Amino acid sequence: MRETITDLLAGNAEHAREFVDRFDDVQDAQHPEAVTVCCSDSRVLQDHVWGNDRPGRLFTCGNIGNRVVQESDAGPVVSGDVLYPLAHTGTEVALVVGHTGCGAVTATYDALTEGIDEPAGIEHSVSLLSDFLEPGVEMLPADLDRSTAVNHLVEYNVDRQVEFLLESEDVSDGVTVVGVVYDFQDSYTERRGEVHVVNVDGDRDVASLREENPEVADRIRRRWTY
């Protein structure tokens, strides 16, 4: 067996020793506090981002581009993996988690500006982002370099995913939808690994959000206003 698999199984053995009693209350049911929609990037450790080590607390979804949308016969709809906890487990918070330097956003930016040649599965995933990001690409200042443009679009994508959830009839009005950006590139501050709130239920105004949420005011910031 490959060394990578052996190492992973060794890590799981340690996990099992540490977690042996942590499933007692959730073996038969789950009622997570929040559903998180993260990018499936190896640098974004979905539970560790929040310091979480408690099974049952977070319902974690991952895909390239932290999308909440999937295609169906009826057109674009809220992805079932995101919708399930909101519809069936009493979860009342949805967190869209973008991250700096996102490869999916980069690929979408390239597709919209230069075109890309990728396997069909990747091109399909990129196409699901293209309709969301195309207006944002058109609004980018002309003097931005590629990496800065991508990080601006990371925020823009988070906003569009939040908007899609808020506008969906499948998502209860009682659900709080928050958009954040996970920064490990010193793009927002020099504190790598911080999560920065950029959108709360469609509100993107930093001043008002800070006033309404003073306990986390230092974590509310945007890099782009549009």
The predicted-structure confidence for 44-77, as pLDDT tens digits, reads as follows: 999 999 999 999 999 999 999 999 999 999 899 9
Arithmetic mean of pLDDT, 99-103: 97
> Cβ(56)–Cβ(32) under 8 Å?
yes
**In whole numbers, what is the pLDDT of the chain averaged over residues?**
95
Q: What local confidence, expressed as pLDDT, does residue 74 receive?
A: 87
pLDDT for 50 equals 97
pLDDT of 226 strictly over 80: no
Whole-number CA gyration radius for the chain: 18
Instruction: Quote the percentage of the chain above a pLDDT of 70.
Output: 100
Higher pLDDT residue, 78 or 74?
78
**C-alpha closest to that of 155 among 204, 88, 87:** 204
pLDDT at 1 over 80: no
| Whole-prediction pTM | 0.95
**Are 178 and 96 contacting, i.e. CB atoms less than 8 angstroms apart?**
yes
Q: Is the pLDDT of residue 222 over 80?
A: yes
